[in-house]
Chain A
């Protein structure tokens, strides 16, 4: 005889059902749902690895697959970094079904570390590979003695400039930021802009305080010290504020169609960019072939050779991979094998993290697009001069967004760049604290 269902019973069930997740969630993990584990591979056994990236690595991966039938890599394209790629990776790590290999930029490595999302590759013999890579790039993936990522490429900064236009105007390529401003004035008179100022690109903007010698974050013991408002940072902020106020720069987001159009038409005559911008300019402003050249970044102090880095990424093995040994093998081959590097260079992936012999590398050839210049020699010097003591906090994505938003507001006349940094400073510290870390302002 079935009992009639009463309202009270239904309510009891509902409460029980609602309580179930609460009881189950006592096992909430702070990091990855699944830990990396090597299952060992018998000879002849076939494994398939997944690689998530937004960099065009497909050709290199295809080459690996041809040579290694037993270890097949499936390259899956995800949205670039913060426009969805990292979110996907974090979610996959949390859910316990991550890809084995992932494209993670240097600045984002600490964030993945914080979430426990990376595999300690030292346990699988990564440290033996150290000598194949440029030291500072290798160190980007080293945390408290363990190696967590294999470096792929960096982005040493340089100044791309329209050689033909500057010669016509009888201007030398600017060596200091003061000269750069003077050149901007002349360009303005002739209806052009010296450069573009992207309203929301904090990574690009950060390369200038970095070059000036600022350190936005550092650690003391277990406390993060945030310092966006050092004299060096404020000097840089003031400089660009002045350039914007005097309308010497074109406000447009870089790497977008309007920006490329301005490059094509000669509206923009220089662009302080990372090495990997060569492929972007070549691909998106083909009509300007032979008119470009590269020099080192203008200096804050005449005669100095300070430099900085914009971008750069690594190949990491996410926490939860079931084939870490094979994944490490692939990551190392991808970033050091000469055939693979040749394909990556063609795809314009940046400045190699692997040690290279420039004259023998395809990077060392004179380039007709850059008026026959061996332009990568400039970037090689720049890479050596990068201040490698610059660090990234584990909340960079979030905190750089504040800087970006504040600069964007300053651009439309709400406050100055200096105010923008001061306000972002407070938010930066709050971001770190919200993560359960110790943090304070430097001043």
Chain B
């Protein structure tokens, strides 16, 4: 493993690999090595040596940090000023069975967003600027450190979610927001997934700024049954008022209770990290993105195909699935995701190497994609095979 201590070192390592036509696996702390397809590379380039917050202006709502900075370190710095990462990225340590925390580069490279995505946008929506090294070892920048910027082509978006295949992120600037002064949740016991999605759609269609809308088909902790949960984060007075209104307006959707701040925060941490999914170690995990109203049928199809464990977030638009790590189960997931999108989030190498881990692209886009890849990584040395065979 190569783990340079600065950006110049990363550039140097990529330049050498480019000259030698030698593939590199790109990672932060490798927490997501088991995500998507296994990379075929003799050497690994890690950004774990690039750490530290380089700029933080709470009143300007921006923070910049080197790509290898652990997420908990960034969250701690923000918490000192009562601010937070808007997209609430999941902590995937338990899911991937690793000890080390994710790095900023890894979370942005994977565009991983949690519950707050439904109202406040994805990780990629908050990336204001990047520094990166392309596949020939050149350093380049895109975006900047201001909240609004439409100057030139937005390569931040292109690299966010590209899983290291178009460049190695070395420094990232994010928009951040104040943390709600308080929070709380409305929990509804609903008959099934379909009525739960309807309840959440109703909640998201209210004027109360619901910032989390999840569905736990198997209950949670002491709470049994199928639960639809809506979260409010705001000033304390607003949380009380809005939860009361929400309970009144959603009364017809099921038996209701309110969770106070502590219980609510603990529950949403679990939902963020997909803890209620509770997959067995040998099981695969998928994430499906669908229009919420299509989720009930997709879930029914998955349950018919195999013993699917399910957890829904984003008002039903995000379906976490756990099940047997077989090609048959994967085929059922691909089918259920038609009209939407899926990723094979976790699985054994054999399965990940054998199946498409995300949907195929329309041919014209695939052709453009190949040309874009050859602009940024002409020798194809960055994370070969990570996204597609």
Do A and B bind? no
A-binding residues in B (CB < 8 A): none
Please report A residues at the B interface, Cβ cutoff 8 Å. none
